[in-house]
Amino acid sequence: MTNKPIIIFGLGELAEVAKFYFDNDTTRNVAGFSVDGAHLKEDRFHKLPVVAFEEVDTAFSCEEYDLFVAIGYSKVNGLRQEKCLAALDKGYHLASYVSSKATVFDDLSHGDNCFILEDNTIQPFAKVGRGVTLWSGNHIGHHASIGDFAFISSHVVISGGVSVGERSFMGVNSTTNDHIAIGARCVIGSGAIVTRNVDDEGVVLAEPGKLSKVPSSRLRNL
């Protein structure tokens, strides 16, 4: 396992969160940040240098540093994919983070630039692709597969044998039955229950909660 310092692409909240986890839950440290030159408005972030991505390999050699792309699900995860591929073209190894507080087994298969946070349970024979984000508290069932650059938010249940296509997004508290196939670039809304296969670019929404006309002061037994 490499202990190279890490350069984070991004200056948003996700970049801050990534720095915290790498600094506090790995043996590695974050040495700097990078963004596209058109968005470079400051030369320091969290007291660390910020350099234009166009020049990052000059300031931080890919032989001495790894890179992590801290981008969310913009453009149905397409922006994160784009920047990961650009970093690979520059010769960087893309770092992954797997929380020490996640429940995983020795057979876990995951790609580079993954971000797997605390309280994820990933059962045996599951596979996680490249550039996947698993926010906190998810259940990834046995023999499930999560495609490249997917984003799984929090408290999602992906049941056994489920396949989630590349660049798909699953919202908070969404759930699948087992052996469901979700296509590429799909959006599964918060609280949605997926009971059948979903074609590429499908959108599954849950019925939103309704505001009662009765105020809480008039509810019985409260």
- Quick one: which of 221, 181, 176 has its CA closest to 198? 181
pLDDT single digits (tens) 41-56: 999 999 999 999 999 9
Q: Compute the CA torsion angle 108, 112, 115, 121 (nearest 10 deg).
A: -10
**Separation CA 18–CA 24 (nearest Å):** 10
pLDDT score for 69: 98
* pTM of this structure: 0.94
Tokens of 185: 């670039």
pLDDT score for 107: 85
Q: Which domains does the chain have, with CATH numbers?
A: 6-89 (3.40.50.20), 96-207 (2.160.10.10)
Cβ-count burial 3-30 (b if 16+ within 10 Å, e if not): ebbbbbbbbeebbeebbebbeeebebeb
Work out the angle at residue 3's Cα, subtended by the Cα atoms of residues 151 and 36, and round it to the nearest 5 degrees: 50
pLDDT score for 114: 98
Question: Other CB atoms closer than 10 Å to residue 186's CB: what's the count?
Answer: 23
Question: Other CB atoms closer than 10 Å to residue 81's CB: what's the count?
Answer: 20
- Quick one: which of 70, 142, 148, 152 has its CA closest to 108? 142
Extract the residue ranges of the chain whose pLDDT is less than 50.
Answer: none
Q: Compute the CA torsion angle 28, 125, 120, 165 (nearest 10 deg).
A: 100
pLDDT score for 219: 86
pLDDT score for 208: 87
Tokens of 222: 């409260």
**Separation CA 152–CA 163 (nearest Å):** 13
pLDDT score for 218: 87
pLDDT score for 222: 61
pLDDT score for 102: 98
* Exposed/middle/buried for residue 181 (C-beta within 10 Å: 0-12, 13-18, 19+): middle
- Cβ-contact 186, 204 below 8 angstroms: yes
* Structure-token match 């350099």, residue found: 51
